[in-house]
Amino acid sequence: MAGAAQHRGAFWSEVWRYRHFYLFISPFFLLFAVFGLYPLGFSLYLSFMKWDGLTAPVSVGLENFVMLFSDEMFYTALWNTLVIGLMYVPPMFLLAFIFAGILNSKRLHLRGLFRVGVFMPCITPMVVVAIVFTLLYSAESGLFNYVLRAVTRLFPGGPMAPIPWLESEAWSKVSVALLLVWRWTGYNMVLMLAGLQGISDDYYEAAIIDGATRWQRMRHITLPLMRPTLVFCGLMSLIGTVYMFDEVFVMTQGGPGTSSTNFGLYLFNLAFMDFRFGLASSAAYTVSIAVFVVSLVILKWRRPATD
């Protein structure tokens, strides 16, 4: 007991000695506790409560989770989220990797300008993006339909009918996916570019001396050493896809019908349209646990194959 008390005394003595440094970093931890830890804990508390934001919370035990798994809209939102993710993540990764390889070339002039140009969609306000893409998707005067009609005029059968990008349940997910590819390719390109720049040129020089082709260098050097970066991009894409809200809300509002209602919009509707905060909290925690498990599986691939 005396040893433990002496150890605690030494600990607090060290804390007091460096109190000025702790004071300087304390604002971050205070803000994180108020705006990070407290909402997490309160949301967990609400997942076992029935609360509309006005009356006193009422304990319902696991009723929220039972209602969640019997809610057809919950499964529809998860399905839409999965489909949109499969539509945009693979082409986004491919384009980001291609752009990163091109912009990493020392023979390319004005590389900085091109990098800024590719990254610019990430920082463009979503309202501006929504207005522009709404005009592009217009069935009558949109650029996409104009290009499709011009191209199909060259083939037998004449120009194709305009595609109702935002008015059709069959095309609403495609419309959102195209916007996401345009918006987030630059973000992943920057991450992959950093990964490429972290690979020493010595590996490539040795491979060239040994007679390795470009494809062999890509397969046995670039991709293995880029694995941590690719895993990180995959994790960020997974989290971003599940909790995506802005793009769907401003473009389609989840319609037509529920064809593009993803999980982020489903949560928003539960909490701030239906005022079912307990059910929304249970849905958030259920999906967060699933995302956490999937993330652990993905993280097993983070180590380079050369380790």
40 with 88, same domain: the answer is no
**Within a domain: 60:** no
Both tokens of 283, joined, read 């849905």
Residue 170 belongs to some domain of the structure: yes
pLDDT in tens, 16-65: 888 888 889 889 999 999 999 999 999 999 999 999 988 999 999 999 99
For residues 41 and 150, membership in a common domain is answered with: no
* Cis omega (within 30 of 0) for bond into 256: yes
Give the CATH number for residue 165: 1.10.3720.10
**In a domain? residue 306:** no
My answer on whether 129 and 276 are in the same domain is yes
**pLDDT at residue 21, as a whole number:** 87
Least confident of 9-18, 35-44, 121-130: 9-18
Tokens 């998860």 found at: 78
Residue 143 reports pLDDT greater than 70: yes
Over residues 163-180, the mean pLDDT reads 92
**Domain match, 100 and 128 both:** yes
- Average of per-residue pLDDT across 173-192: 94
In a domain, 36, yes or no: yes
With contact defined as beta carbons under 8 Å apart, do 207 and 216 qualify? Answer: yes
Q: How many domains does the chain have?
A: 2
| Spatial contact of 190 and 119, defined as CB atoms under 8 Å apart | yes
Same domain, 121 and 223: yes
Are 275 and 160 members of one domain? Answer: yes
Tens of pLDDT along 206-251?
A: 999 988 898 999 999 999 999 999 999 999 999 999 999 988 998 8
- CA–CA distance from 140 to each of 129, 136, 146, 172, 281 (Å)? 19, 10, 8, 16, 42
pLDDT tops 80 at residue 283: yes
227 in any annotated domain: yes
Report the alpha-carbon distance of residue 54 to residue 275 in Å, rounded: 9
156 and 291 together in one domain: yes
Q: Is residue 291 part of a domain?
A: yes
Identify the H or E element spanning 206: helix 201-209
SS3 274: coil
Q: What is the pLDDT of residue 87?
A: 96
**Is there a single domain that holds both residue 82 and residue 219?**
yes
Q: Do residue 93 and residue 193 come from a single domain? A: yes
Same domain, 160 and 16: no
Mean pLDDT of 275-302: 92
Print the domain residue range for 31. Answer: 1-46
Mean pLDDT across the chain, nearest whole number?
A: 89
Mean pLDDT value across residues 60-81? 95
Per the listing, tokens 């900085």 go with: 112
Are 225 and 279 part of one and the same domain?
Answer: yes
CA distance 85 to 82: 5
Which DSSP letter does residue 59 get?
A: E
Nearest CA among 271, 226, 196, 247 for reference residue 43: 271
